[in-house]
Every structure is written in structure tokens, then in C-alpha cells.
Homo-oligomer: A and B are copies of this chain.
Amino acid sequence: MDIARITIAPSTASQVHDWLRKRVQRGDLPPGMRISETEVASAIGISRQPVREAFIRLASDGLAEVRPQRGTYISRISVSAVLSARFIREAVEADLARAVAKARPGDLLDRMGDEIAAQHRADKAGSVEDFIDSDDRFHHLLAQAAGQDAVWADLERLKAQMNRLRHLSMRAFDRSFTIGQHRQILDALRHGDADAAEAAMRTHLRQMLAEVPQMAAAQPDYFTD
């Protein structure tokens, strides 16, 4: 028998936190912007306390910075933090690719192929959001295929800063190029060629090395470090 699924109503503070986090990641609240407990509270129609606690959580996510008695600001995107997260991603996903190339789980590889098709559709439709979502699912499926689902959850935390940057860069850079790299990775995985899969993955994730400084130079007041 299934265990009954009990869901409790999420607290006001956590709802505000979710709302703010999404808005920051989508770039709706730009880096450097000042936000105020009082303003947000009165805008929503609640007291300061839940908003304040949402700010604390946002700061733990690295998305905001609370300066005592001065104000709270949306974090600027740290170039070194992004590069550090990129380094970690390359190392981890290279190992994941090797593991998947050895196991070759057919169903999950098929689903990765479906995502590539979805990315193609999103590109033609010009939907940046859909593209990014499918991109995430593609890499998530890789982790699942390696039997390391929990690893993806950890990477998600590290990707917080990268995600904001992606909403900028996806508009500026060539998406069909990304799709081609995904195809190369999947081909190598299907053939069980671990070396080729690792190489393709590393090439794919090193793409960002060139893009990040370019983005930072284009909008310097959104970045730091």
C-alpha cells in the first residue's frame, strides 16, 4: 500500500522566499538592486517579519546581501564564483559521462534524445525559458543515468549564480551550437565510448570560459570580482 501523502501549507516566509528566488534567477530583480523589508511587506500586504526571514534565506542562497542598518541588495554575479562552479561541473559531469557510457541505460538515453528534440523546437520558437529548462533536464537525466540522482541536487545549489548569467547569455549566444554539442555527447554515450563522451562533455562545459568574461565586460555593474 502507498503511504498517504500529507502536505502542509507552506509558511508565508517560505512562499515569499520562493517568489523572490525565482524573480532573482530570472533576472527580474537585477544584480545590485536594493530591496527593503518594509516595501516588500506592504506590497504583499503582510508584516515585515516573514519578509525578513525570506531575505535571510535568500542571503543563504547567495542571491542577496544583508547589510545591517543599511539595506538589503540583490547580489552581483561573482565571476570567480561562476568560474568555480563551472570547474566543479566539468569535473563532475565528466565522471558522470564516463559512468553512463559504461552502463548505457537505453530508456534514459532515449529521454535525453527527446530533450535534444525539445531544445530544437524551443530554439525555433525562440523561447529562451523552454530552452534552458530542457537543457537542465538533459543534464539531470545524465546524472540519473549514472545512478547519481542526488548529485544533481547538489549541483543545483552551485548553479544558482550560473543560472542568472545564463538568462543573459542565452539571448546573446548561439543555441544551435549548444544543441550540436549535446548531440555529440549523446552519440558517444550510445556508442559506449567513455573517452569520447568525457571529451565532448568537457568541451561543452568549457564553452562558458569564453562567454563569462564577455558578459562581464558588457554589463560591468551586474558583476563583481
| Chain B residues whose CB sits within 8 angstroms of the CB of A2 once the complex forms | none
- Tell me the complex Cα distance, A85–B88, Å: 12
Q: Taking the full assembly, how many copies of this chain does it contain?
A: 2
- A84 and B151 contact, CB distance less than 8 A: yes
**A157: interface (CB < 8 Å):** yes
Q: Which of B60, B68, B80, B157 contacts A57 (CB 8 A)?
A: B60
Secondary structure class of chain A's binding surface, majority of residues = helix
Question: Please, which residue of chain B has its CB at the minimum distance from the CB of A78?
Answer: B150
- Tell me the complex Cα distance, A158–B94, Å: 19
**A154: interface (CB < 8 Å):** yes
**A209: interface (CB < 8 Å):** no
**A33: interface (CB < 8 Å):** no
**A148: interface (CB < 8 Å):** yes
- B157 and A81 contact, CB distance less than 8 A: no
